[in-house]
Amino acid sequence: MEVNNWTQLWLSYQKVYEGHGTWGIGYSGFDAENRIVESAVYEFRTAMEGLTGENVVITDSEGNVKNDRILSLVKDESIPKEGYRVESGEYGATVKAPDENGLLYGIFALIRNVACGKKPGEIKEELSPSNPLRMMNHWDNMDGSIERGYSGNSFFFDKDSIIISRRTRDYARFMASVGINGVVINNVNVKDAASYLITDRYFDKVKALSEIFADYGIKLYLSLNFASPIELGGMSICDPMSKEVIDWWKGKMSEIHLKVPELGGFLVKADSEGRPGPFTYGRTQADGANMLADIIDQYGWIIIWRCFVYNCTQDWRDKKTDRARAGYDYFKDQDGDYHDNVILQIKNGPMDFQIREAVSPLLGGLTRTNQMLEVQIAQEYTGHQIDLCYLIPLFKEVLDFHTYCREGCDTVADVVSTRTFGNRLGGMAAVINTGNDYNWTGNDLAAANTYGFGRLAFDTSLSSEQIAREWIRMTYQLESDKEDILTDMLLRSREIYEKYTSFLGIGWMVTPHDHYGPSIDGYEYSRWGTYHRADHLGIGVDRTDKGTGYAQQYYKENAQMYNDPKTCPEELLLFFHHIPYTYKLKSGKTLIQYIYDSHFEGLKEAQELAQSWERLKPVIPAESHERVSKRFELQLVNAREWCDQVNSYFYRKSGIPDEKGREIF
């Protein structure tokens, strides 16, 4: 028998109160044998037994079993797609939904409310998802490794085969519980065995996986190798305009459809970081995406095409080429050309998931194209799930950003939800932070990001604090003063990480390739387009109309605001401007003094985080507490290293001492 070598995360269903009696289930308009309905009922039963000790007994069609309370599952087509209405009282509870996914989410809402301490009679919730697509992107490789993975190996793949276990089902439950409806199982860098996921070698297992996902209303997607006609088909080209290439794809897609009909579609990274793509043949990104999309439209599938396209062989001496510009430069011209089962997936910033960067001007810059937001909860640049970094506040900032693309309905949340332009497709995706570690996410506290992303994608109006508190209640069930401590830790963690690492939007300065820990000049003379341009007088990248012109990719209001250091939001000052160390910030502090102060502060606050965690020791399960404590030890080493290296570097460059005379090396 398989041993459950993993935690149940926020679905641990520890008792919240002692209930009594039994529950029966009544169906109205829903088929009790539907796979998703069965999953929903199973979950309700497991949850109620754990949370309250109450039994759930299924009433037979004659209603012969007498139950104290009834859970009524009612189809109500007046509710928007995948939405639900949940109410409970002394009589029992009712979940109304227009479809099975909505029903499942309604059941999970009911469970969440109970797990968060609400009593029957207090529960009333009505919600429909903000975003049609709510996806997780795994960067799992088929050898079992995970690109940018910080929590063990893949639980989907090992030694070039697909793993299906009880863990697969638990994973699907976790995802459904926060409203995820699409999962890409393999890395966007499709190489080696992964190219063969769309062949007979793997069809059976891919299908089996897709069936487990389907039980939880989740579509399985695959990352696709654009050069498949060459690698699998033995052809010499993969030109999207070649008739032979198109015919090859037609045959391939029909074969896939026959074998894995439950699929949702494909994610493609093309012409990026060495991946093949349409540029090789002088074609546009739209040519590539449309070719595939047209072939699969008949199956109801979609193409998710990434906009992370830039020149990764830049010359650092060249100050005109700007990686930040690349996405917009490559994709904006074809706005309107993408067919309607193509959706462009756009990283939140124009660089690459830094702790702070500007919001990508493509979001809302495209007005006639399906678009979705891509964020990263795998902590590649944000502490490798060693350092505590609750990322929901960052995502909220992005979602709330005014693009000025349309009056009154112009935030990124509006745009990607499809509210602004009425696109056929829209949504949010996260590069996920899970692996086969016992606790799934390396750091137990990093699961707040996994939970939080799903909740936020489902309801972008939730606050970072609400999400944090829900996650804490469902995971640890703390007394309110202790819950406050942990909530505060989570909410402050992103800013603290920012303080001891990068400042005012400059980014990078990380150890090349690995991306953990400081290396101020690590990327300064590299080919990756990631420079801070520091000299003895100042630091920052001039992206104004006198520099690379990146600021001009925004709508007028933002373009003007960013172009002028006086109106540019200070936290992004060095993203847009090259600034002297003696420049006075709004606080009256010089830039150099700000660098010193923020780093010393960041280090001190990281120490405070670790101390707060120590105070929680009596109330957190010992193993979990210990795992996280070990991470904090490492975080403090990291924070000290960052603080000392950054301060020393800029002291040596500028020759300006710290006003407060603290130790700098």
Joined together, the tokens standing for residue 397 give 């900032």
Name the residue nearer to ligand GCW (CB basis): 325 or 578: 325
Name the residue nearer to ligand GCW (CB basis): 352 or 483: 352
C-alpha pair distances (Å), 113 with each of 57, 121, 211, 460, 526: 21, 11, 29, 18, 51
Rounded distance, CA 410 to CA 58, Å? Answer: 48
Binding of ligand GCW by 357 (CB under 6 A):
no
Name the residue nearer to ligand GCW (CB basis): 139 or 328: 139
HSE-CB at 109 with a 13 A cutoff on CA atoms is: 30
CB of 49 to ligand GCW, least distance (A): 41
Helix (H, G, I), strand (E, B) or coil at 266: strand
- The residue of the chain with the least Cβ separation from ligand GCW equals 352
Rounded distance, CA 535 to CA 467, Å? Answer: 42
Cα 25 to chain centroid distance, Å, stands at 35
CB of 352 to ligand GCW, least distance (A): 4
Rounded distance, CA 499 to CA 515, Å? Answer: 17
CB of 326 to ligand GCW, least distance (A): 13
Name the residue nearer to ligand GCW (CB basis): 137 or 449: 137
Rounded distance, CA 623 to CA 284, Å? Answer: 53
Write out the catalytic residue numbers. 273, 352, 380
Cα 447 to chain centroid distance, Å, stands at 12
Joined together, the tokens standing for residue 505 give 């939007």
CB of 515 to ligand GCW, least distance (A): 7
CB of 316 to ligand GCW, least distance (A): 18
DSSP code of 86? Answer: E
Binding of ligand GCW by 68 (CB under 6 A):
no
Q: How do beta strands 265-268 and 219-224 pair?
A: parallel
Q: How do beta strands 92-97 and 342-347 pair?
A: unpaired
Binding of ligand GCW by 82 (CB under 6 A):
no
Backbone angles phi, psi at 275, to 5 degrees: -80, 145
C-alpha pair distances (Å), 199 with each of 43, 224, 228, 304, 651: 34, 12, 11, 20, 58
Rounded distance, CA 190 to CA 270, Å? Answer: 10
Helix (H, G, I), strand (E, B) or coil at 306: strand
Name the residue nearer to ligand GCW (CB basis): 254 or 280: 280
Residues 223, 188: contact at Cβ < 8 Å?
A: yes
CB of 343 to ligand GCW, least distance (A): 16
Binding of ligand GCW by 352 (CB under 6 A):
yes
CB of 329 to ligand GCW, least distance (A): 18
13, 139, 216, 632: residue in contact with ligand GCW (rule CB under 6 A): 139
Binding of ligand GCW by 519 (CB under 6 A):
no
Nearest-Å Rg of the Cα atoms of the chain is: 25
Joined together, the tokens standing for residue 130 give 């903000």
202, 308, 562, 642: residue in contact with ligand GCW (rule CB under 6 A): 308
Q: How many residues bind ligand GCW (CB under 6 A)?
A: 8
Residues between 147 and 186 that touch ligand GCW (CB under 6 A)? 147-148
Residues 26, 70: contact at Cβ < 8 Å?
A: yes
Backbone angles phi, psi at 127, to 5 degrees: -155, 145
Name the residue nearer to ligand GCW (CB basis): 323 or 599: 323
Binding mask 235-274 for ligand GCW (x = CB under 6 A): ----------------------------------x-----
Residues 16, 52: contact at Cβ < 8 Å?
A: yes
CB of 380 to ligand GCW, least distance (A): 6
CB of 188 to ligand GCW, least distance (A): 5
The answer for residues whose C-beta is within 8 angstroms of residue 154's C-beta and 6 or more apart is: 138, 140, 141, 144, 145, 146, 163, 435, 436
Name the residue nearer to ligand GCW (CB basis): 327 or 364: 327
Name the residue nearer to ligand GCW (CB basis): 268 or 609: 268
Name the residue nearer to ligand GCW (CB basis): 129 or 276: 276
The closest alpha carbon to 223, from 170, 191, 186, 255, belongs to 186
Name the residue nearer to ligand GCW (CB basis): 188 or 220: 188
C-alpha angle 372-145-174 in degrees, rounded to nearest 5: 55
Q: How do beta strands 69-75 and 92-97 pair?
A: parallel
CB of 187 to ligand GCW, least distance (A): 6
Rounded distance, CA 534 to CA 512, Å? Answer: 18
188, 343, 394, 559: residue in contact with ligand GCW (rule CB under 6 A): 188
Residues that bind ligand GCW (CB under 6 A): 139, 147-148, 188-189, 269, 308, 352
